[in-house]
Amino acid sequence: MKKWDFKKEFFIHNRENLSKLLLPNSLAIINANDLLPTNADGTYPFIQNTDLFYLTGVNQDETILLLYPDHPDDKFKQILFITETNPQIETWHGKKLSKDEAKELTGIESIYWTSELDAILNSLILRTDNIYINLNEHSRASIEIQSRDYRFFNNLKKRYPLHNYKRLAPLLYNLRMIKSDDEIEKINIACNITEKGFKRILSFLKPGVWEYEVEAEFAYEFIKNGARFAYNPIIASGEGACVLHYEKNDELCKDGDLLLLDVGASYAYYNADMTRTIPINGRFTPRQKEVYLSVLKVMKDTIKEMKPGKKLKEIQQITEDLISEELLRLNLMKKDEMNDKDLKKQITKKYFPHGVSHFLGLDVHDVGEPNPELKKGMVFTCEPGIYIKEEKIGIRLEDDILITDNGNIDLMANIPIEPDEIEDLMNKR
């Protein structure tokens, strides 16, 4: 299990905040993610359920948290179940958390082995009125595989059909939207590691390099700094830059083309999300720079609007209006088309077909309301783009923005983005 510099008070505070939101006499159940199989005897690298991590800091499978704030016995108000280790497990997979280590990490006094769950859970459920289950609820999620939480829910309904089952996700998402200082610190670390990776690429990239070689340079910098990729990186050259979720990363980087890099580091489960678009040969062509400066202007103007009180959909509309103005300047839209509301929207969506922002945190597309009002402590991306397939020009720029009382802070302000600076750095190699 990786060790990060969290204080247990962070997790204690998160559990206290969630407990206050539960109905009287309620039990909340949060499971770890499954260790997923590949083929034969293989498994994917383990990724923890971010809600469980938010509440405990435990990065270990087969872990279950129970919260029962109204239980009359203090030892049953918060209970953590972890896997009991043995010499064979330690020989093959290394150490697991001991009970004392779990107490120190989480601040939970009542630690049991997972094998003891059924007996304890039964005694608790028979006292409670409401059972909160933690299912993944995200507007962009398409879920075909049943999670451990979902299987657990189905089993409970069969065993205890007369209880009131409640959704835990809205309560957790409401808490997770606002980042604490500890969380902002971790996101900052992820952004700084991402910066190191990008600067490494500026001195590495040249015609004849393969996209996967660029990915490898990022991987080196991330792993060296105790991080991993926050998501499958997009390393898209030439016409690939116009594919929004390009994932092949297997084309040759050619002289005269652009390279779109949508990459972020993940540190202690907190994520960065950066996009930069750079010239493979170290120099933008006049047309590439013209489009680049349009996207950069839209980005800067959009960031100025990201302040408390604004709604996310307002920010999207502002960005689309800014994009439309740049399309007119770039001769991609005509004046009469600009004056036709429906045609203007259609053309704008052709060249800018995605959203400009999303929550960022423990998940890259982090949880939260679908159209939130921006508030202090929220972290969003800002990622405008213009994609001209017929010219093989796809340019997207993206920074991570912390909302403050008075406006915002660009957490990626130190990552080069001005075209002249990028060219200078690339040509100093």
Which residue in the block uniquely carries the two structure tokens 């083929």? 39
> Using one digit for the tens of pLDDT, what is the confidence trace for 181-192?
999 999 999 999
Residues 6+ apart with CB under 8 A from 110: 75, 76, 78, 79, 80
Looking at the structure, do residues 332 and 350 belong to the same domain, yes or no?
yes
* More confident position, 89 or 346: 346
- 415 band by pLDDT with thresholds 50, 70 and 90: very high
Looking at the structure, do residues 336 and 243 belong to the same domain, yes or no?
yes
> Has residue 1 been placed in a domain?
no
> Has residue 141 been placed in a domain?
yes
Looking at the structure, do residues 152 and 199 belong to the same domain, yes or no?
no
The CATH number given to whatever domain includes residue 90 is 3.40.350.10
Give helix 8-21 / helix 99-106 axis angle, nearest 10°: 70
Looking at the structure, do residues 110 and 223 belong to the same domain, yes or no?
no
Check residue 354 and give its pLDDT: 97
**Structural domain containing residue 355:** 181-426
Looking at the structure, do residues 100 and 195 belong to the same domain, yes or no?
no
> Using one digit for the tens of pLDDT, what is the confidence trace for 308-331?
999 999 999 999 999 999 999 999
Looking at the structure, do residues 65 and 84 belong to the same domain, yes or no?
yes
Q: Is 405 left (phi over 0), alpha (psi -120 to 50) or beta?
A: alpha
Looking at the structure, do residues 372 and 415 belong to the same domain, yes or no?
yes
Residues 6+ apart with CB under 8 A from 188: 411
Check residue 5 and give its pLDDT: 82
Identify the CA nearest to 302 among candidates 287, 316, 292: 316
The pLDDT of 398-421, averaged and rounded, is 97
Q: Over pLDDT 90: what percentage of the chain?
A: 89
Check residue 139 and give its pLDDT: 75
Q: Is the pLDDT of residue 93 over 90?
A: no
> Has residue 413 been placed in a domain?
yes
Check if the beta carbon of residue 379 is closer than 8 Å to that of residue 400: yes
Identify the CA nearest to 17 among candidates 64, 48, 55, 70: 55
Locate 227 and state its tokens: 């991080």
Check residue 3 and give its pLDDT: 66
CB atoms within 10 A of CB 107: 19
> Using one digit for the tens of pLDDT, what is the confidence trace for 232-278?
999 999 999 999 999 999 999 999 999 999 999 999 999 999 999 99
The pLDDT of 224-230, averaged and rounded, is 97
Domain end point (choices 121, 153, 176): 176
Looking at the structure, do residues 186 and 247 belong to the same domain, yes or no?
yes
> Has residue 371 been placed in a domain?
yes
Q: Is the pLDDT of residue 1 over 60?
A: no
Output the pTM of the full model: 0.95
Domain count for the chain, please give it. Answer: 2
Q: Is the pLDDT of residue 170 over 90?
A: yes
Round to the nearest angstrom and report the end-to-end CA distance of the chain.
Answer: 38
Check residue 218 and give its pLDDT: 98
> Using one digit for the tens of pLDDT, what is the confidence trace for 66-86?
999 999 999 999 999 999 888
Q: Over pLDDT 70: what percentage of the chain?
A: 99
Half-sphere exposure of 27 (CA within 13 A, CB side): 23
> Has residue 2 been placed in a domain?
no
Which residue in the block uniquely carries the two structure tokens 């105790």? 226
> Has residue 220 been placed in a domain?
yes
Check residue 94 and give its pLDDT: 84
Burial class (CB in 10 A: 0-12, 13-18, 19+), 190: buried
> Using one digit for the tens of pLDDT, what is the confidence trace for 112-169?
999 999 999 999 999 999 999 999 888 777 777 888 999 999 999 999 999 999 999 9
The CATH number given to whatever domain includes residue 322 is 3.90.230.10
Check if the beta carbon of residue 218 is closer than 8 Å to that of residue 197: yes
Looking at the structure, do residues 310 and 226 belong to the same domain, yes or no?
yes
Domain end point (choices 176, 191, 218): 176
Check if the beta carbon of residue 60 is closer than 8 Å to that of residue 98: no
Q: Choose the weakest-confidence range: 26-40, 131-145, 195-209.
A: 131-145
The pLDDT of 335-356, averaged and rounded, is 96
Identify the CA nearest to 233 among candidates 221, 8, 295: 221
Phi and psi of 317, rounded to 5°? Answer: -65, -40
Q: Is the pLDDT of residue 57 over 80?
A: yes
Domain end point (choices 153, 176, 199): 176
Mean pLDDT score across all residues of the chain? 95
